Homo-oligomer: A and B are copies of this chain.
Amino acid sequence: MVLLGMDLGGTKLAAAVFNEEGTILHKEHIMLGKASGKAAGQLIGSCLQRMLYSTKYGTVDAVGIAVPGIFHQSTGTVWAPNIAGWTDYPLLEEARNICKEIPVTIDSDRACYILGESWQGNAKQQKHAIFLSVGTGIGAGILVDGQVLRGAQDIAGAIGWMALQPPFSDEYLHCGCFENYASGEGIANTARKMLMAMPGGTGPLYTRQPAQLTALDVFEAYKHHDPVAMKVIGGCIEFWGMATANLVSLFNPEKIIFGGGVFGPAIPLIPGIEEEARKWAQPVSMKQVVFEPSALGNDAGVYGAGWLARKSLINKQPVGINDVQ
Contact = CB atoms under 8 A, between A and B. Distances in A.
A149 B151 CA distance: 12
B250 A172 contact: no
Give the number of copies in the complex: 2
Interface in A128-142: 128, 140, 142
Contact of A161 (B127, B157, B239, B245): B245
Given A161-B282, A163-B280, A253 B128 contact: no
Nearest to A276: B168
Nearest to A154: B252
Interface in A252-276: 252-254, 276
A164 interface: yes
A236 B279 CA distance: 22
Interface in A267-318: 276, 279-282, 284-285, 288
Given A166-B165, A245-B161, A153 B250 contact: no
A183 to B, nearest CB: 14
23 contacts: A144-B144, A145-B150, A149-B251, A150-B252, A152-B253, A153-B288, A159-B249, A161-B245, A161-B246, A161-B249, A161-B280, A161-B281, A161-B282, A162-B246, A163-B242, A163-B245, A163-B281, A164-B166, A165-B165, A166-B238, A166-B239, A166-B242, A172-B279
